[in-house]
Amino acid sequence: MDKIIIHVDMDAFYAAVEMRDDPSLKGKPLIIGGSPDSRGVVATCNYEARKYGIHSAMNVKEAYRRCPHGIFMYPDIAKYRAVSDKIHAIWNTYTKKIEYMSLDEGYLDITDSMTDAQTPFDIARSIKERTKTELGLTCSVGIGYSMMSAKLASEEKKPDGLYAILSREELINLIIDRPADTIYGVGKQTANRLAELGIHTVRDIYIHEERILSSFKSHGKSIVRLAKGIDEREVMPYYESEAKSIGTEHTFEKDISDMAYLETEFLAMAKKLSLKIKRRNKFAKTVTIKITFADMQTITRSKTAEGISDADKIYERVKSLFDIVEKDREIRLIGISLSGLEDVRYKQLHLEEML
């Protein structure tokens, strides 16, 4: 049976909280970020400021150049976090199967929690209504049969939107002529590589399916499936994401002596784990590799240092461990595990950049 997933994303979150708390800011372009003379970047801005082409991650100096009469404010993360807790508390009354993506965004799987008398639209409207009356804020809500369809639906009518994409056909009709990076998992880098293959839109993904499958391996398979509307990802509730470690391992059909090949495998694993750990909003302090030799002897090697989540950082640590393993026998299995997981401190890096 299809799932019913709701994706909620607050509108201009930090800016909306500031406008709510100081109504004199309403109607004026408001930019939250570093001061105009600092090296900071824009965290967000309200919709008035967006008319000037200002957006998240833009250099504040550039934002100031575009809109010198705008109001520029530093973010107050503690305040937004407290508001976020209240938002999450509202969501929690509809289902316990919630995956929080950031302070202002989350997926709610309501498949099993909805009563017979309710439709997904009742729940979506109720969430919007309560967010408005109890917190004085607006959000955009998407209803989908999968995580990707729910997310695209919430973006569709932003701000204060409500939209549903309830079948693969509807999803495909909506996205077929959109850029390839509409597909979850297609970031800048992948989009560039796709463009080199002449693939620019979702339609091109269908046309050149074979080319993608041969050039991108398992990532290609996932791109093609998602483009066709097949998205089996489960909403991962908080309690499940509390697992103490995240790992993956691979047993080879034949024992391997080619070290360069093993390094490529480790790199692919690091990429996979990076996606997983980022989805859980975590950093890992400890990286452990596991190696089983052809004679079934297994060894593990660990390194603990600052928390990381990027694939290249994970791989770097894996490589430093693998380099010092004595490779005198063929290898049957390799694995990586990430532990010492800590929460991503929301935007702290960004704050540091600004101060």
Which of helix, strand or coil describes residue 3? coil
Which member of 48, 62, 105, 170 is catalytic? Answer: 105
Q: Per CB under 5 A, which of residues 130..159 are in contact with Mg ion? A: none
Size of the residue set binding Mg ion (CB under 5 A): 4
Give the interface with ligand DCP as residue ranges (CB under 6 A).
9-14, 43-44, 56-57, 102, 104-105, 158-159, 347, 350
Tell me how far, at minimum, the Cβ of 45 lies from Mg ion, in Å: 12
Q: In what order do the strands lie in the sheet with 71-73?
A: 42-45, 30-33, 71-73
Residue 354 contacts Mg ion per CB under 5 A: no
Residue 231 contacts Mg ion per CB under 5 A: no
Closer by beta carbon to Mg ion, 73 or else 227:
73
SS (H, E, C) 189-246: HHHHHHHHCCCCEHHHHHHCHHHHHHHHHHHHHHHHHHHCCCCCCCCCCCCHHHCCEE
Distances in Å between the Cα of 128 and the Cα atoms of 12, 101, 214, 262 are 15, 18, 44, 50
Closer by beta carbon to Mg ion, 104 or else 231:
104
Distances in Å between the Cα of 28 and the Cα atoms of 50, 285, 289 are 11, 43, 54
350 binds, among Mg ion, ligand DCP, none (CB under 5 to 8 A by kind): ligand DCP
Tell me how far, at minimum, the Cβ of 236 lies from ligand DCP, in Å: 19
Q: Is residue 123 within 8 Å of 114, Cβ to Cβ?
A: yes
Closer by beta carbon to ligand DCP, 44 or else 149:
44
Query: Peptide bond preceding 120: is omega within 30 degrees of 0, i.e. cis?
Result: no
Q: Is 196 a catalytic residue?
A: no
Residue 104 contacts Mg ion per CB under 5 A: yes
What is the C-alpha separation between 50 and 11, in angstroms, rounded?
12
179 binds, among ligand DCP, Mg ion, none (CB under 5 to 8 A by kind): none
Type of residue at 91: W
Residue 10 contacts Mg ion per CB under 5 A: yes
Closer by beta carbon to ligand DCP, 155 or else 265:
155
- Catalytic positions: 105
Binding site for Mg ion (CB under 5 A): 9-10, 13, 104
